[in-house]
Amino acid sequence: MVTRIPPRTTRQPTRQRIRFRLFLASGAAATAIAAGSVIPLSPLLPAAPQAQAAPNTLNAPKALKAPMAPAAADGKKVLTVAVDQSVDSLSPFLAQTLLATSVHRLSYEYLTNYDAKDASTIPGFATKWASSPDKLTWTFTIRDDSKWSDGKQATAEDAAWTFNKMMTDPNAATANGSFTSNFKKVTAPDPTQLVIELKKPQATMTSLDVPIVPKHIWENVDDFSKFNNDKKFPIVGNGPYVIEDFKVDQYIRLKPNKDFWRGAPKFDELVFRYYKDKDAAVAALQKGEVSFVSGLTPAQAAALGNAENIKVNDAPGRRFFALATNPGAKAKDGEKFGNGHKALLDPDVRKALFHAVDRKTIVDKVFQGHAVEGQGYIPPRFDSYFWQPSDTQKIDYDPAKAADLLDKAGYEKNGSGKRVGDDGKPLNFRILCHATDPNDKAVGKYLQEWWGDLGIGLEVECLDNVSDPWLAGNYDLAFDGWSVNPDPDFVLSIHTCGALPATAKDTGATDNFICDKQYDDLYAKQAVEYDVAKRTDLVKQIQSRLYDTGYMNVMVYPNAVEAYRTDQIKSITTMPEAAGNIWGQDGYWSWWSAVPADGTGEASSDSGSSTGTVIGIGAAVVVVAALGLFFMMRRRSTAEDRE
Amino acid sequence: MTIDKTPPNPSEPTEPAEPAEPSGQVPETNETAKATTAKPTAPSASSLAWARRRGSVSRFWRQYRTHRAGLIGLAGLAVIALIALTSPLFIGGDVQSVTDAPGTALESPSGEFPLGTDQFGRSLLGLLIWGARISLVVGLLAAALSVAIGTLVGIIAGHYGGWFATVVMRITDWFLVMPALVLAIVLATVMSRSIWTVILAIGVTAWPTTARLVRAQTIAVESRPYIERAQALGGGHGHIMTRHVLPNVMPLVLAQTTLGISTAILTEATLAFLGLGDPSVVSWGGMLQDAREAGAVSSGHWWYLAPPGIAIALVALAFTLCGRAIEAVLNPKLGVSR
Amino acid sequence: MSSARTPGVVRDAVDGPVKTGPSGGPRTRARGHRTDYLLYVAGKLGGAAVSLFAVLVTSFFLFRIIPGDPVKAMTHGKPTSLEQMATLRKQFGLDLPMWQQFTEYCAKALTGDLGTSYQFHAPVGELIVEKLPATLLLTGVAVLIYSTLGLWLGTRSAWRHGGLGDKVNTGVALTLWSVPSFWLGLLLIIVFSVGIGPIPGMFPSGGMQSGNETGFAHVLDVAHHMVLPVVTLVAVGYAQTLLVMRSSLLDEMGSDYLTTARAKGLRDDLVRRRHAVPNAMLPTVTMIFINLGHVAAGSILVETVFSWPGLGGLFYQALSVPDLPVVQGLFVVFAGAMILMNLLADLLYPLLDPRVGR
């Protein structure tokens, strides 16, 4: 083997030099960071004595702001909202995600709106509405003080065109087609009159959540399945904000509509900025880079609750979080499919399972108080529809009773403490959980232990996409949850027999294959009931029936936990106005009503960008210096070569 | 000097894996060949072979001892393995229980909970120790699986040669250009969430490297004269592959496995972090994911986030140090640890 | 990322140029003969084309086995009628039989059409092109820095191998390599974005730009956002370059010709710099090329942690929908980048080798 030892003579001097360089180099990464930290000083730093004391321009944030950041120079009030969902499309005919539909709420008018106080229907694009005695013809009076942002008057003609497009072009019905599938004819006899004729009565006529688009812009669109409405800015609309700019998964920028009939919003700009990571979003809020963050975890809420200038809003949510059992999946034609556990067809077994769920612990431990114990199907936030089981109906936490029910149902414990059925097989269930939902996983852990104590095994199957086994009926239990709209029609419709798939191969709108005659009768009655009080009563009866079937059990109603910076937002309307939420409202109230804080609450991007400028320079200098150093050393080496 | 002389080039037939003694190996394997092909009269010959192998193991150990980094890695591994193996004695499976959790949510480190608690009030130290078992098992099995596939493919391709080898190596190359993490993510998404899925996903995406190395080694071994002799004596394909080639590629396989484990542990953590792990099992990657889901990062609970990451880094580092030391012993030309 | 980060297995990393034949022979034949080189190029090009086609085929079938009804996923949580679902299926060609979907996919892919995203209703090619610059910028800068850093430190380390500096150097590199990149990213967010103790939160925690700055301010703003992700990528990535450079340089330093050169009386230092380093650069440069192929796929984690609007983030996001055409398209792009970079390394290798007469 060839020796690798270099001649001794040259060793000493080189070694020293090289070792010096080596140490220098080893610390290069650290140096880069350190260099970055020396140069800039965040103006948002709460306690930085130098900032006040030193006349040094580098350390004085105010001196920096004006010249370095052009966007900041005019002192715009920017409201920045952190979002983690993608905008699937800016076309109201295609958009499905909550973020996209929220943006549409801000940029287009709907016929009606929901009152911020109690979510009751109030005028939107329409000022008045009336139905004919046979309940089949609806006449909407369209307001005459709404203008498109390009200056044209918005009229009933635009609304009629929007609905007709959705009725005639299936591609335009992608997002909201369910509202118009029952429409027979839509006309606009004059600019302030919209007449809709129905095939059969429809209870959702005063809650048609369909953005009305300007006909003169949209009639030029060829293919509604491909047109995303994101090429030409600003996007013509008539809502409180106008979409100015959009980059997929980066930001959506909106400007206030100065001519908005209800009054212009107070902020100069509204930006939805995309943060894939919730922690990154919360960090941005702590630093003032964003004004608002939603969907906080209990730990984040607690940490932000102690922070200065940040208000945590813990509001009753509009979701329910339930356990659903597979009632034996079947299609409309009667064909059964899936591999749901037979034992769950026994109402007593299901009841026993629900009896062994300690909802209070789930509220206290998993949600750490940021949730309300589950009762009926519709969350208490919608107090007119909220229903509670009577004492005789109620399935409360009672493990002893659960054990009793199981014993009676024929599943007694064997020697090793497992419940065994008549077939001699131990009782083991699977539960479908959404891999992306931490609450599913957490509750799954508790269920495993509670039901384990009962002698029932539970396998928590977490998947990114649960819909495949779900639709195929290949599950025993599942975590289920829906956001409830002010009008409960949809969430009620998904438990009717009509929602079952037509055949085993089809997909239906059904939530978990519940099909109950009594339930269906009640549902059909409420769907055509125009009298609010009577319909409310029917909705409560429906919930009572659903509870009694025992196919699903609502565990909790999770709160909406969100936080905003009080030094940027002075006031903001929640919905419901008393103790309500801000993100995902049914109207545009929050962002329309937000009032900027004065003085110090200068918008985030200003301060961010000036620090950014400084740090950017710092980073660039470090990179250039590192490269320069490298090449210098190379040059020097070459020079040495030539000696 | 050819341009192929770049040292870390596996497709260039290199010296056999036990370079210290090419001369000693020829008679050894030759003896073994005789012992197994001719008559079973030579238990002495086979025991001689075993003695020689023992000898080469102790020789290996003597050389390994000279690599201090390798020793540090080995000591670290011993400590971690000891903790993981004895953990059932002093903590027990109930550290995982959420209903009997002793603390409250996200407590900071204290005398009772040296590393604080998680969002369910469970002791993080207990979970960290308990999670070591899963992380190590996944790392070991995944690396073993990938090396097993790689060795099988490599030996077969190296032994048979011809168009068959070309096709097999073509497939191997093709797997090599596949973005491994992307492939693992896709596989983990397709299958149900369990540690077996993770093991499989890592195992089937990480084997091509080993296959190439083993194939090169196989070709090198088979070019030696004693293989020809064994063939002349009637040794079949199976005999040659298992009796002559396999023992000679074993050291290389050992080095590959050791290095593979650290990659596998990192990949396991990555998959768990992306939410593709088994949520009902406590592993280090899963703990990081739990910490992130609890919002530990932005709420300043660094003691939740830091320990699992440090544990992963330490174990990965320990295996890497060992692997590099083994490599250096087997192939001193690499000079990795000098 | 996993395969990009295998410093122990350096031998594999520099394996690029011999990916085709079983013998590694073409390279030897290529020497000095132009026609031979052209033949070699043609062979490599053919091989790459075959690989690319294989990627296309796999990508189609691999992603058909992902469970999930994309239409149901798309409409989840929204009132949707059966007719709407049928329309969506038709829009995306999901109503066709599998073989027809496949032939259509291949035909379209050859013309650069990778299908239409389920969730964004936009051509996949367009989405990828839109996200590509962000990824190229982030990973390009990271690769540039960590290659430079790795080459430099690797050379220093090999110079004085066995010394304290070498040990510290390789030790630090190996330790950083062993750290999960997403974890390091999260820690950096805690320390340098949220701020801890005396350290102010001075870097943004995510995204690529803050306001709508233009011109130079925009450049600086993006640079500011890039610092933490780049530091993360460099920290976990530079070990590989360092180790390859170090070991190949060590190997060169033991070569006969260097001994000869030294025997001729050339100064030791000079010999190394003139002869050893250029030769040792070869495997390292090859590896850098292969790293370039890896970068797109390798940035999935860092882009996810730092909300960087690039391909990696898009991949992760699309996978959870699942938005098959996007995942599929990205898979083709990631694998294609690897094939392309391997091809480039193959083609450049004979040209770069200083021992080949030029």
A448 vs B: CB within 8 A: yes
- Can you read off the two tokens belonging to residue A602? 């200068």
B5 vs C: CB within 8 A: yes
Alpha-carbon torsion, ordered A80, A69, A612, C315, to 10 deg: 50
CA distance A80 to A288: 9
Residue A237: CB partners within 8 Å, gap ≥ 6? A107, A108, A148, A149, A213, A214, A243, A257
- Can you read off the two tokens belonging to residue C288? 């850098």
Chain C neighbours, 3+ Cβ pairs < 8 A = A, B
B residues 85-124 closer than 8 Å to A (CB): 97-99, 105-106, 119-121
Q: How far, in Å, are A51, A333, C176 from residue A505 at the CA level?
A: 68, 11, 52
A residues 30-89 closer than 8 Å to C (CB): 32-33, 36-37, 40-42, 44-45, 48, 68-72, 78, 86, 88-89
CB contact under 8 A, B309 and C300: no
pLDDT at C76 (0 to 100): 53
Q: How many other C-beta atoms lie within 10 A of the C-beta of residue A254?
A: 27
pLDDT at A601 (0 to 100): 42
Residues of A in contact with C234 (CB under 8 A): 29
Q: What is the mean pLDDT of residues A577-588?
A: 86
A401 vs B: CB within 8 A: no
Is residue C178 a contact partner of residue C191, using CB atoms and an 8 Å limit? no
Helices (H), chain B: 22-37, 43-65, 68-90, 124-160, 162-177, 180-190, 195-205, 208-222, 225-232, 237-239, 246-273, 284-293, 302-330
A627 vs C: CB within 8 A: yes
What is the tens place of the pLDDT at every residue in A404-433? 999 999 898 888 889 998 888 899 999 998
pLDDT at A565 (0 to 100): 93
Say which of A26, A228, A465 has its CB closest to residue C168: A26
C56 vs A72, more confident: C56
The lowest-confidence range among B9-13, C109-113, C155-159 is: B9-13
A414 vs C: CB within 8 A: no
Question: Which letter does DSSP use for residue A116 in this model?
Answer: T
Residues paired with residue A322 on neighbouring β-strands, in sequence order: A480, A554
A503 vs C: CB within 8 A: no
CA distance A626 to A31: 10
Over chain A, what is the mean pLDDT? 81
What do you get for the CA distance between the two ends of chain C, in Å? Answer: 36
CA distance A505 to C161: 68
Q: How many other C-beta atoms lie within 10 A of the C-beta of residue A11?
A: 13
Please, which pLDDT band fits residue C65 given cuts at 50, 70 and 90? low
- The alpha-carbon gap from A252 to the nearest alpha carbon of chain C, in Å, equals 11
**Cα A627 to the center of its chain, rounded Å:** 45
B275 vs A: CB within 8 A: yes
Strand order from edge to edge, sheet including A560-565: A241-247, A251-256, A269-274, A78-83, A292-293, A560-565, A310-315
Say which of A368, A450, A462 has its CB closest to residue B193: A462
Helix, strand, or coil (residue A581)? strand
Q: What is the mean pLDDT of residues A249-264?
A: 91
A361 vs C: CB within 8 A: no
CA distance A277 to A534: 46
CA distance A19 to C160: 8
- The alpha-carbon gap from C358 to the nearest alpha carbon of chain A, in Å, equals 22
pLDDT at B5 (0 to 100): 29
CB contact under 8 A, A86 and C267: no
C129 vs A: CB within 8 A: no
CB contact under 8 A, A464 and B99: no
What is the tens place of the pLDDT at every residue in C213-265? 777 888 888 888 999 999 999 998 888 889 888 888 887 777 777 777 777 77
Q: How far, in Å, are B60, B63, B165, B332 from residue B20 at the CA level?
A: 10, 11, 30, 10
A450 vs B: CB within 8 A: yes
Task: Provide the b/e sequence for B265-292 (b: ≥16 CB within 10 Å).
Answer: bbbbbbbbbbbbbbbbbbbbbbbbbbbb
pLDDT at A563 (0 to 100): 94
Is residue C48 a contact partner of residue C347, using CB atoms and an 8 Å limit? no
CB contact under 8 A, A461 and B293: no
- Can you read off the two tokens belonging to residue B271? 């998959």
Strand order from edge to edge, sheet including A457-463: A371-373, A552-558, A319-325, A477-483, A428-434, A457-463
Please, which pLDDT band fits residue C69 given cuts at 50, 70 and 90? low
A168 vs C: CB within 8 A: no
Question: Which letter does DSSP use for residue A575 in this model?
Answer: B
- Can you read off the two tokens belonging to residue A302? 């607690």
CB contact under 8 A, B3 and C174: no
Residue B35: CB partners within 8 Å, gap ≥ 6? B42, B45, B46, B49
- Whether B71 shows a pLDDT value over 50: the answer reads yes
Q: Which of B8, B258, B19, B334 is nearest to C161 (CA)?
A: B334
Q: In a mutagenesis test of the B interface, which of A304, A365, A461 is the best target, namely the one with the most B β-carbons within 10 Å?
A: A365
CA distance A320 to A305: 25
Over chain B, what is the mean pLDDT? 79
Please, which pLDDT band fits residue B69 given cuts at 50, 70 and 90? confident
**CB pairs < 8 Å spanning B and C:** 229
- Whether B35 shows a pLDDT value over 80: the answer reads no
B244 vs B337, more confident: B244
Q: Is A636 exposed, middle or buried (0-12, 13-18, 19+ CB in 10 A)?
A: exposed
ipTM over 0.85: no
Is residue C54 a contact partner of residue C338, using CB atoms and an 8 Å limit? no
Residue A440: CB partners within 8 Å, gap ≥ 6? A433, A434, A462, A479
Is residue C121 a contact partner of residue C300, using CB atoms and an 8 Å limit? no
What is the tens place of the pLDDT at every residue in C126-159? 889 988 899 989 988 998 898 889 988 988 888 8
Residues paired with residue A131 on neighbouring β-strands, in sequence order: A138
Chain A neighbours, 3+ Cβ pairs < 8 A = B, C
- Whether C354 shows a pLDDT value over 60: the answer reads no
CB contact under 8 A, A608 and C316: no
Is residue A489 a contact partner of residue A539, using CB atoms and an 8 Å limit? no
**CB pairs < 8 Å spanning A and B:** 90
CB contact under 8 A, A365 and B97: no
- Can you read off the two tokens belonging to residue A116? 């911020």
CA distance B198 to B184: 8
Q: Is C2 exposed, middle or buried (0-12, 13-18, 19+ CB in 10 A)?
A: buried
Element (H, E) at A314: strand A310-315
- Whether A581 shows a pLDDT value over 70: the answer reads yes
Say which of B190, B263, B333 has its CB closest to residue C251: B333
CB contact under 8 A, A448 and B294: no
Is residue A391 a contact partner of residue A397, using CB atoms and an 8 Å limit? no
CB contact under 8 A, B181 and C20: no
- Whether A399 shows a pLDDT value over 70: the answer reads yes
Percent of chain A having pLDDT more than 70?
81
- Angle CA C200–C203–C206, to nearest 5: 135
A531 vs B: CB within 8 A: no
pLDDT at C273 (0 to 100): 74
CB contact under 8 A, C153 and A468: no
Sign of CA dihedral C285, C291, C296, C300: negative
Q: How many other C-beta atoms lie within 10 A of the C-beta of residue A308?
A: 9
A456 vs B: CB within 8 A: no
Residues of A in contact with C160 (CB under 8 A): 14-15, 18-19, 22
Percent of chain B having pLDDT more than 90?
17
What is the tens place of the pLDDT at every residue in B141-200? 999 999 999 999 999 988 887 888 888 888 888 888 777 888 888 888 777 778 898 899
Three-state SS string across C180-241, please? CHHHHHHHHHHHHHHHECCECCCCCCCCCCCCCCCHHHHHHHHHHHHHHHHHHHHHHHHHHH
Global pTM reads 0.80
Q: What is the mean pLDDT of residues C183-204?
A: 82
Is residue A256 a contact partner of residue A166, using CB atoms and an 8 Å limit? no
Q: Which residue has the tokens 């206290």?
A: A364
The lowest-confidence range among A447-456, B132-141, B295-304 is: B295-304
- Can you read off the two tokens belonging to residue A506? 């089809």
A615 vs C: CB within 8 A: yes
Three-state SS string across C281-318, please? HHHHHHHHHHHHHHHHHHCHHHHHHCCCCCHHHHHHHH
Q: Is A231 exposed, middle or buried (0-12, 13-18, 19+ CB in 10 A)?
A: exposed
CA distance C203 to C212: 18
Three-state SS string across A213-252, please? CCHHHHCCCCCCCCCCCCCCCCCCCCCCEEEEEEECCCEE
